[in-house]
Amino acid sequence: MQQTEKIIQSLHSITKWGKVGSIFLYISGGLAILIGFWLVLPAALGVFLIMMGIHVQKSVNAAEQLIQAPDTSYEELLEQYAKMMKMQTLFAISSIVAAILSFIAIILMLILGGLAFLQEIPSDIQQYEGEYEEELGDFY
């Protein structure tokens, strides 16, 4: 395939932004694992981010190879891009699941907390009046 000026510009853009993007994917994946190491879901999201960073870095290497040797095949670049797209889709799905589970957990905590609060309120105040008078004594 003959490389046009537009293809060469796109390859340079892939190498430049791919390097920056992969570094940020590594950092954000590492932070997600580090911060949520005791929870399964944030750690899994961090693994997806790191795997995306690896595929982006491999795409950068394939783009650099295409810039240096224009007669090389585009197969490696497209293969790494396809893998990165799969990881991105899995990341998006797991993020949606995490958001839904978090929402359900918050609602359950509010409901259970409200029920626990209502359990603490005595329903019959007259039942306790005699007990308090015995404990406190007559101050008057």
Mean pLDDT computed over 78-100: 87
For position 20, what pLDDT does the model report? 94
Whether 64 has a pLDDT exceeding 70, the answer reads yes
Encoded tokens for 40: 């399964």
pLDDT, tens digit (0-9, with 9 covering 90-100), for 13-52: 999 999 999 999 999 989 988 887 777 777 778 888 899 9
For position 4, what pLDDT does the model report? 81
For position 16, what pLDDT does the model report? 93
Mean pLDDT computed over 55-65: 91
